[in-house]
Amino acid sequence: MNEQTISQKLTDALWQIYRRPVRPEPWSWGGNLPWDDPAFSERMLREHLDEAHGAASRVTEERQLQLDWIWSTLKLAPDMRICDLTCGPGLYAVELARRGCHVLGVDFGPAAVAYARKLAADAGVTERCEIHQEDIRTVALPAAAFDLVLLVYGQLAVFTKAEAAALLTKAAAALKPGGHLVVELLNQDRVDKTTSNWWFTDDSGLWGDGPFLHLGERFWDDEQELSYERFHILHLEDGHYTEVHLCDQTYAMSTMQQMMREAGFRQVDIYPRWDGLPLYDVDEWVVYVAQK
């Protein structure tokens, strides 16, 4: 591709950005990251495994603190059955299998699923750790089969309220009587509700494997109680332009508690700040433990 063609593509992309709707409509672009795109999935896997930050997966020390808290709080034991929804590269699922549990992990990203399966094989827990590549909204889970269902690190928030309610109902149906659901969500009171924008450049990263310019915008929808981010990525070597939208649905604690009860849970305990665990961003999070 010659320089003139690249320059024209970049010019066209800039005009497209200039003419963008001032404020996007929530969920109009699906409102989620392209998790199942193979190239994006590979780049996201690198972020999951990067111990220099906790932007995609928490670092090892913090995951262990969370797992120890869940294990002791819920009185888990070997041979219990656990379902890890949006399991990513299996960092929680495989550790729970190492502790003797039987784990089903479900994730949409092909690279994450491949890594999780290899991690389970390397740990010698393949027989106790099964990883499925499926959308958690459509995956069929066996009824009354699990002692625990996990949905951590805010992943429930990337779905609409209707989808979230359906997922809570699915989790309840998949749990044994007395089983637990653990959901980690951002504290609505701590979410950034300002309209803002930012930009940066990089040689490679989550948005591409070559030099790119990233332009980001954040909006708060007070009526729907959600944060909406719109990302514009200009790939400088070939002029390709990518636009990605991400919605983060927030919930008041009382709202989520009520949704869980309506989904079939008889008791919902709330632990702001992960019950005081020393996580670097602990003030931002709320953990819900719902019992069927």
Cα 229 from chain centre:
15
Of 273, 279, 277, 87, whose CA–CA distance to 287 is shortest? 273
143, 172 Cβ separation under 8 angstroms: no
- Segment 71-95 mean pLDDT: 98
The three-point CA angle 99-103-109 to 5° equals 120
Q: Tokens at residue 209, please? A: 């494997």
* Residue 127 pLDDT class (50, 70, 90 cuts): very high
Task: Supply the DSSP symbol for 203.
Answer: S
Q: What is the pLDDT of residue 28?
A: 85
Give the C-alpha separation, 174 to 58, whole Å.
Answer: 26
- For residue 2, pLDDT over 90 is answered with no
Per-residue burial over 144-173, b if 16 or more Cβ lie within 10 Å, else e, is ebbbbbbbbbbbbbbbbeeebeebbbbbbe
> What's the pLDDT band for 279 if we cut at 50, 70, 90?
very high
Say what the pLDDT of residue 88 is: 97
Residue tagged 């305990």 (tokens): 269
Domains and CATH numbers, the chain: 3-16+25-32+192-249 (no CATH), 50-189+253-291 (3.40.50.150)
Q: What percent of the chain has pLDDT over 90?
A: 97
Quickly list H helices, 123-268: 161-174, 253-263
Element (DSSP H or E) covering residue 13: helix 3-18
User: 239, 8 in Cβ contact below 8 A?
Assistant: yes
Q: Please indicate whether residue 86 or residue 29 has the higher confidence score (pLDDT).
A: 86
Can you give the pLDDT at residue 239?
96
pLDDT digits (tens, 9 = 90+) for 214-231: 999 999 999 999 999 999
pLDDT at 29: 83
Q: Per-residue pLDDT for 1 more than 80?
A: no
Mean pLDDT of 31-50: 94
DSSP 208: B
